[in-house]
Amino acid sequence: MTSDFSGKHVVVTGGTGALGTAVVAQLLGAGATCTVPYVHEAEAQRFPYGRKPSVKLIAVSDLADESAVAKVYAGLKPWASVQIAGGFAMGKVADTGKAALMAQIETNLLSCFLCCRAAANAMQGTGGRIVNVAARPALEWRAGAGMTAYTISKTGVAALTVALAEEIAKDGILVNAVAPSIMDTAANRAAMPKADHASWPKIEDVAATIVFLASSDNRVTRGAIVPVYGKA
């Protein structure tokens, strides 16, 4: 089943990355218009949909900055907001200082919080969908050993998702998240050449789950952190 996004506007943070590009492609194919904020100019230059009239690219300095987020959502009445933007860092607790911890919290949790807040305010009176991206260690904390700051930040995204879903369900806004394991991307294959790549979830499949949760076909699911692990 292909969801229909005709006449619907969707904000996709991190939309110029690997997963984001797959999400935007599926949204455009379903008739959506998309606002895609980006931080890195090189990613924007590589983004294959930047010249489409149904896509608006917005350069932002930092999605953990309130003024930058306000710029993205200014004047919009989005049907959905998908928060993919974030970052990853390895590091044991013994080797992680305050700056490294706060960098992960700001990149993953604070940016997601600010975009969720802006989206929820923009959707008041019309309803909509919010979809966040957590991670497998957000559900399986032991899997976060050796990447503790990242695990803390993504666990926060999961908790934010569930709490916000409860807060705004009566406004007709359904909030959910996906929790991917290591996804099958060129960068991950290069970083782990000996891994079982066939077991990793494909980005197109993860994107399809996100697009369903962001669609009007999703009528009842809220407060879910959906595992998208593939065979891993």
Which active-site residues does the annotation give? 150
- Give the whole-angstrom CA distance, residue 114 versus residue 83: 10
- Give the whole-angstrom CA distance, residue 26 versus residue 205: 11
Q: Length of the chain, please?
A: 232
List C-alpha distances in Å: 168 to 117, 124, 126, 158.
11, 9, 12, 16
Name the nearest CA neighbour of 157 among 119, 131, 181, 183. 131
Name the nearest CA neighbour of 29 among 13, 11, 56, 49. 49
- Give the whole-angstrom CA distance, residue 224 versus residue 56: 29
- Return phi, psi of residue 34, to 5°: -130, 140
Going across the sheet that includes 128-133, the strands are 55-59, 33-38, 9-13, 80-83, 128-133, 173-180, 225-228
